[in-house]
Every structure is written in structure tokens, then in C-alpha cells.
Amino acid sequence: MIVQQKITALREELNLHTYNYYVLDNATISDYEFDIKLKELEKLETENPQFFDANSPTQRVGGEITKNFETVVHKNRMYSLDNSYSKEDLNDWEKRIQKLLGTDDISYTCELKYDGASINLTYKNGEFVKAVTRGDGFQGDDVTTNIKTIRSLPLKITSNFVRDFEMRGEIILPLNGFYKMNEERIENGEETYKNPRNTASGSLKLQDSTEVAKRPLDCLLYQVVTDERKYQTHFESLDIARKVGFKVPKTIVLAASIDEVFDFVSSWDSKRHDLPYETDGVVIKVNSLAQQDELGYTSKSPRWAIAYKFKAAQVSTILHKITYQVGRTVAITPVANLEPVQLAGTTVKRASLHNADQIEKLDIRINDTVFVEKGGEIIPKIIAVDVSKRSVNSEPTIYATHCPECATELVRTQGDAKHYCPNEFGCAPQITGKIQHFISRKAMDIDGLGGETVELLRKEGLIQNYADLYDLRVEQVIPLERMAEKSAENMIAGIQKSKEIPFEKVLFALGIRFVGETVAKKLAKHFKSIDNLLTADFDTLISVDEICDRIAQSVIDFSNDLVNMQLIDRLKLHGVQLEVSAASLKNQTDKLKGKVLVVSGVFHQMNRSELKKAIEDNGGKVSSSISKKTSYIVAGEKMGPSKKVKAETLGVEMITEQDFIEMIKK
Ligand code: AMP
Ligand code: ZN
């Protein structure tokens, strides 16, 4: 087979597997085999750059950085939808359109209203070319590189469909993916995302598309916009769109009357809580495209469509007490303990109260009857108090003044909504939480030791901090509940083995606030040892790429604490890796020391991330935007024209991929 055919065949095969998996939810190949084929394609493409295709499956992994999202005017305006809240509203709408059309022969489609961020996708000649956010409806932001990473979105339409069209849809974050992202945030000691919708729309504007590629985003389509009139009805157009590869949910139905529309609405009002993603209503559209044209638009929305908004599920119940939770990160969270009540298909016993201000604002008191709502947020919240049911001798809530776990007086720094327990090293849940984080998979990855055992060891007085782990002996552990000799030995062996874990992970394990996995990697790479890091001053810290004031300050606070310094010394004595190992330094040089390089365009001998790694390994710094400080631009094929102009005006030297390779070889 000639190379080009082989490349095409591989692309088609990979696209088909992706479609089967991400659209039809039916895997037809193992992840492993998929990766092998993808690697094979990548290799062929690198060796044969003349067959480069921006819509190849290899282009989905991200890698491009967008500093400023370009504003693009929509070819066809993106309208809002009118809202309705009751069957009467729907009946009124029907009467209006019957009058305008002069007929009562109208059928409808009913779709769920997917709760995410709207997107307009442009396809030309069956190829995906552009994705733009709704913006103000007239113009939005070009987020093409980010959208391309969404696997369920076809980049090429091979079957016979209209050639040039726009596809309208919603970028959503399915609940499972959302929960998973939050679990990771918790593990990293970062604040959790509030709801899937904001997280989805925030993802579209991330500068690093590699980061977007990691998020489990999905794209649900709901409208084909085209000048070619191949279909008579909306339903038909979506049905065909689904067949040619778009993810059009199967929940769509045709309805012959508003009564049937309402049946759909009622059934989904309760069923919606079982969906894998969130929906806040139904969108009803006139099915005939000719009738849609006749009805046209008002100044803000189509006359041929209307949204029906579900009421946020709400119940009233009694607030028994307010408890205060302490976690690994020192912030205290007030929690409402409620009389258990059914809400949107689950039993609710607790609701979040956010912070002291909110309790005060809503004047929430013990024994109050409160309204609990499950809206976009995952944890239900109290939205109001039924004051008519309040007893006369009720008293305003006094917010906790002391830590419920260690009785230390709480502090609240100015500008911060939350209270903190400052007793970092003496407050049980904080101690346990820190050690649990230390041993976790992405940190020291200690085999044979789990979260519950950590709690047990702490309670038994065997450990107070992570350094204590390395002093544990088998004989001390065996007498513990549910601990056999073998498991005790495994645990100690696991702890000893963690001394081999590389420095960047150790740094993450230390649990310095705001130093998550990625930041730890950056810091480890830059400073190379804990001593360099902890003696760096503020200015040195913030001069490191992507290290902001907040992180720098947190590192300084950490190093100013004597207890932390003692713990680090003890880890050092135990032989934990507190500097970058010689082996990992081996391939590194400082040929590019002091140089700032910008990478732009498409490369053939290495991919972008390899190129960036090569820059960093040789002591250079990668920057995403061109400035006077830029030393070189490594210019690949298809380098952005605006970058070129900027480089020329600033007189920054442009070098080719080959020049670069020679530069580091020298
Ligand atoms: P609104 O933002 O409340 O005016 O509602 C309009 C938005 O609903 C559109 O911009 C779409 O992003 C979104 N939407 C979600 N699902 C659908 C659907 N099935 N049909 C049309 N619009 C939808
Ligand atoms: Zn405490």
C-alpha cells in the first residue's frame, strides 16, 4: 500500500472507533490497540509531512496555546430562546403561531435543553473548520483548537450530507466526569468546581488545549443551519446528522400537539435526574422547516421555538443543627444537618451553608423550617427560611468561634469568606488529611497503606505527621486492629520503597497549599532541590513560568514554618528524594540557558510537546507569546501570520525546526 493510502485508511479506522466509542457508547477496540494505531499514524504523518491534515485524529490531543481568542462574527445569528413555565404558557405560544401560520396543522419536536455552553461549528466540504462560542449572539470567540479535542465531535464527514453547514450544539460536562475532576481537585487540595455548566464553559476558554483534551467534555448537537434545503423537517435533519456522525441525543421525540409536548415535559421533569448530564428544561420547536421560515424571528429569539424551564427541585424541611467540617485544607465548612427529606430522587440529610456571611444573610437558625433546593450545584443548598414557622424564642445563629476538632480559636483573614483552624499540626482531621494526601497515588504512592489505616495509626499515637511514617516498625503495627503480620510487613515495605519516588512527586506530597501536581513539576524542574526552592525569595519564585503571587507566597509561608523545616530535615535523613536525581539530569544541558523561546506552527521531526521538552531540558524557557524578551521563535509550518508580523516588528530571530535541532546538538 502506498503511504498516503495507509494514512487515510488509518485515519478512517481511528475515526470510526472514536465514533463507536464516544457517540454510540460501544467500544470496538481496546484502548491499547487504539493507542498503537494512533502512534503508527503519528509516525507516518511525521515521516510524511506533505500529508498533514489539521483534522487528523492525531490532532485531538491538544498542544496549542491560545493567548487571545479571536472574535468572529457569526454568519447566522445565534438567538436566545423565549421561556415558558407552565402548560398555559405553551398553549398561548401554540395559539400565537397558529394565528401567524393560519393553520393548526403544526407538529413539534421536543428536545431536552442541555445545560452547558452553546457552540457554533462550521463545516466546509464536510471538514470541520471552526468553532465559535455564542458570545452576544452576533459575534463570539474562536475556540477551534479547544473544541477539536472533544472526541465525540466528527472532524470529517465522510457520508453524503450537505457540504457546507453550521452545526449548533451545547458543550457539556457529563456528571461522572465532573465528579471525577472534583475528586482530583480534592486530592490536590484545590477548591472544587461548583457545577458542570460553569466548568464546561470555563474549559472552552482555557489557553492550553492539552488541558482541555484532558477534560471529559462532550458536545450534544441540536440544529443544522444550511442554505441547502435537503430536508423538510427539523427532526429529519437531526436524524441524518446523527447518522453521519454527530452526537444527537436520542431523547428527541415528535409531538403532534401541545398535549403530547406536555407529556414529554412531565415525564422528563422527574426522569431528568437519572440522565448522565444536566438539563434545566425542554426545547420545543416547530418541526416543519417551511413553517419555521414563515414564522421567523423576533429581535431576540425564534418564533418557532420555545424553552420550557423545569422548576428547580425544592422542598422544605427542618434544620436540626449546624456542624462544622474540617478537612486537609484548613478551611472550615458549615454544614446544615436536616430532617431527611426526598428531593429530586435522592434523600437529602445535609445541605451546604458556604460560610458565616451566608448564614447571617439568610438569618438561618437552629430548628428553622428551611427551603432546600437542588439547582445547578451538586450539593443541595438552603435558599430561604420559612419565617412564618419560626418559634418565638428562636435565637440568631452564632457562628463557631473554635475548631470543633481541636478547640483552637478560628481565624478569618481579611477578604476571605471562610474561617480557618490555624492549628495545622495539632488538629486531627488536618493531620490525617495531610498524611493521606502524602501517601496517595499521585504523591508518594505508598502500597499497602490506605486512608483508614492512616487514621488508625494516628489515633493510636503512632504517627503525627508524614515523617513519622518512616520511623514505623513492623512490631509496632502488628498489634493494630485487623492487621496481620503479612500486611504489616507489606505496609512497612511500601513506605520504605517510597524513598525512590522522584522529587517532583515528593514536592506535591508535601501538601504545600496551591502546589498541585503540575505546579510541583514546574517547581521541581526549575529549582532542582528542596533547599533551592525553600530558600528562594518571592521575586525569584514569581519569575518562574506560571508561578503566581499566591503560589509564591504559599511556598514562602511554608518555608517560614519551623515545624515544616524539621519535617523536611527528617525526610532528608530517611533518604526521601528531595532533589532531582542525577539520572533525570543526564539528558539535560544548559545550552539554552537564559534563552526564551516561542514555538509556533506545525513541526515534523518532533511534536510540539517534545520540542518544548527539548527546550526545557536544555535550560531554555518556553513562552507562549512573543515579546522583546523572546530570544528565538522556532517557526514551523503554518505559523500564525500575526505572530510573524509581531516577530518581524520586534526583530526577534526566527529559526526552523532543523536550526533548533542543530543548536541543541552542538
Ligand atoms: P437561553 O440561553 O436561556 O436563551 O437558551 C438558549 C440556549 O439554550 C441556546 O443558546 C442553546 O445553547 C441552549 N440549548 C440547549 N439545548 C438546546 C436545544 N435542544 N435546542 C436549542 N437550544 C438549546
Ligand atoms: Zn482544628
Predicted pLDDT of residue 163? 86
Mean pLDDT of the chain: 90
Choose, from 113, 285, 434, 505, the residue flagged as catalytic: 113
Residues 193 and 111 in one domain: yes
Verify whether ligand 1 is closer than 6 Å to residue 277 (CB atom): no
Domain contains 77:
no
Give yes or no for a contact between 136 and 72, defined as CB atoms under 8 angstroms apart: no
Tell whether 611 and 512 lie within a shared domain: no
Structural domain contains residue 661: yes
* Residue in 395, 406, 312, 305 with CA at minimum distance from that of residue 359: 395
User: Per the structure, how many domains does the chain have?
Assistant: 6
* Coil/strand/helix, residue 313: strand
Asked if residue 43 has pLDDT above 90, the reply is yes
In the predicted structure, residue 225 carries a pLDDT above the cut 70: yes
Q: 533 pLDDT band (50/70/90 cuts)?
A: very high
The pocket of ion ligand 2, defined by CB under 5 A, consists of: 403, 405-406, 408, 421, 423, 427
Contact assessment for residue 162 and residue 226, using Cβ atoms and an 8 Å cutoff: yes
Establish whether 311 is a catalytic residue: no
Place of cell 501538601: 511
Phi/psi region, residue 594 (left: phi>0; alpha: psi -120 to 50; beta: rest), is left
| Whether residue 229 is found in the same domain as residue 244 | yes
- pLDDT of 666 over the 90 cut: no
Indicate which ligand has the atom closest to the C-alpha of 408: 2
Q: Which helix (H) or strand (E) holds 359?
A: helix 356-362
More confident position, 641 or 602: 602
The residue with greater pLDDT, 187 or 158, is 158
pLDDT exceeds cutoff 80 at 630? yes
CA atoms of 604 and 195, how far apart (whole Å): 40
**For the domain that residue 28 is a member of, what is the CATH number?**
1.10.287.610
Counting from 1 in the atom list of ligand 1, the atom nearest the Cα of 117 is 12
Most confident of 215-224, 323-332, 348-357, 578-587: 215-224
330 pLDDT higher than 70: no
Domain contains 556: yes
- What is the distance in A from the centroid of ligand 1 to the CA of 82? 10
From the CB of 80, is ligand 1 less than 6 Å away?
yes
Q: Looking at the predicted structure, is the pLDDT value of residue 87 above 90?
A: yes
Examine the pLDDT at 571 and tell me if it is beyond 90.
yes
In terms of C-beta density within 10 A (0-12 exposed, 13-18 middle, 19 or more buried), how is residue 335 classed? Answer: middle
CATH of the domain at 630: 3.40.50.10190
Cα within 13 Å of Cα(67), Cβ side: 10
Mean pLDDT of 343-367: 88
Indicate which ligand has the atom closest to the C-alpha of 332: 2
pLDDT in the model for residue 644: 80
Boundary residue ending a domain (585, 619, 650): 585
Instruction: Answer yes or no: is the C-beta of 118 below 6 A from any ligand 1 atom.
Output: yes
The predicted structure's pLDDT at residue 328: 66
Task: State which ligand 1 atom lies nearest to the alpha carbon of 113.
Answer: 16
CATH of the domain at 124: 3.30.470.30
Count the helices and strands in the chain (H runs, E runs).
Answer: 25, 20
Ligand 1 pocket check for 530: Cβ under 6 Å: no
> How much is the pLDDT for 565?
96
Question: What letter would DSSP give residue 21?
Answer: I
For residues 486 and 259, what is the distance between their CA atoms, to the nearest angstrom? 67
- Kindly state whether residues 401 and 449 are assigned to the same domain: no
Distance 330 CA to ligand 2 centre (A): 8
User: Does position 589 have pLDDT exceeding 90, yes or no?
Assistant: no
Residue 532 has pLDDT above 70, yes or no: yes
Backbone angles phi, psi at 387, to 5 degrees: -65, -25
CB 196 within 8 A of CB 173: yes
Domain boundary pick from 441, 468, 500: 500
Residue 189: its pLDDT value, please? 62
DSSP state of 20: I
Please, which residues have CB within 8 angstroms of residue 392's CB and are 6 or more apart in sequence? Answer: none
- The verdict on residue 129 lying in a domain is yes
Q: 188 vs 297, which has greater pLDDT? A: 297
Give the distance (Å) from ligand 1 centre to CA of residue 200.
15
Residue 379 has pLDDT above 90, yes or no: no
273, part of any domain = yes
Q: Measured from the CB, is residue 114 less than 6 Å from ligand 1?
A: yes
Task: Examine the domain organization and report whether 294 and 400 are in the same domain.
Answer: no
What is the C-alpha separation between 46 and 602, in angstroms, rounded? 10
pLDDT at position 343 is 85
- CA–CA dist 89, 439 (Å, integer): 57
Residue 268 CB less than 6 A away from ligand 1:
no
Higher pLDDT, 298 or 581: 298
- Kindly report the protein residue whose alpha carbon is nearest to atom 14 of ligand 1: 113
Q: Which ligand is nearest to the CA of 77?
A: 1
- Per the structure, the complete domain to which residue 518 belongs is given by 503-585
More confident residue, 65 or 54: 54
Given 539, 564, 585, which residue is the final one in a domain? 585
- Within-domain flag for 78: no
The pLDDT of residue 377 is 64
Do 251 and 305 reside in the same domain of the chain? yes
Say yes or no: 131 and 277 in one domain. Answer: yes
The answer to whether the predicted template modeling score (pTM) of the entire model surpasses 0.75 is no
Summarize the confidence of residues 8-15 as an average pLDDT: 94
DSSP state of 288: B
Residues 295 and 325 in one domain: no
From edge to edge, which strands make up the β-sheet containing 632-635? Answer: 621-623, 596-600, 632-635, 653-655
81 lines ligand 1 (CB under 6 A): yes
Average pLDDT rounded to a whole number, residues 471-484: 89
pLDDT band at 612 (very low <50, low <70, confident <90, very high): confident
302 lies in the same domain as 347:
no
Judge if 418 and 454 occupy the same domain: no
Ligand nearest to the CA of 221: 1
Cα separation of 496 and 269, whole Å? 55
Is 278 contained in some domain?
yes
Average confidence (pLDDT) over 209-227: 94
Q: 643 and 512 in one domain?
A: no
CATH code of the domain covering residue 393: 2.40.50.140
Same domain, 644 and 555: no
CATH number of the domain enclosing 488? 1.10.150.20
Which range (319-333, 395-409, 528-542) has the least confidence? 319-333
* 110 CB within 6 A, ligand 1: no
Helix (H, G, I), strand (E, B) or coil at 171: strand
C-alpha 107 – ligand 1 centre gap (Å) = 20
What does the pLDDT look like over 431-442, one tens digit per residue? Answer: 999 999 999 988
Select the more confidently predicted residue: 639 or 127.
127
CB 351 within 8 A of CB 376: no
Pocket test for ligand 1, best of 218, 222, 237, 304 (most atoms within 8 A of CB): 222
- What does the pLDDT average to over 193-200? 90
Q: Are strands 253-255 and 108-114 parallel, antiparallel or unpaired?
A: antiparallel
| Residue 72 located in a structural domain | no
Is residue 170 within 6 Å of ligand 1 at its C-beta? yes
Q: Which atom of ligand 1 is nearest to the CA of 307?
A: 5
Q: What is the pLDDT of residue 493?
A: 95
d(CA 137, CA 299): 11
CA distances from 419 to 322, 416, 560 (A): 15, 8, 22
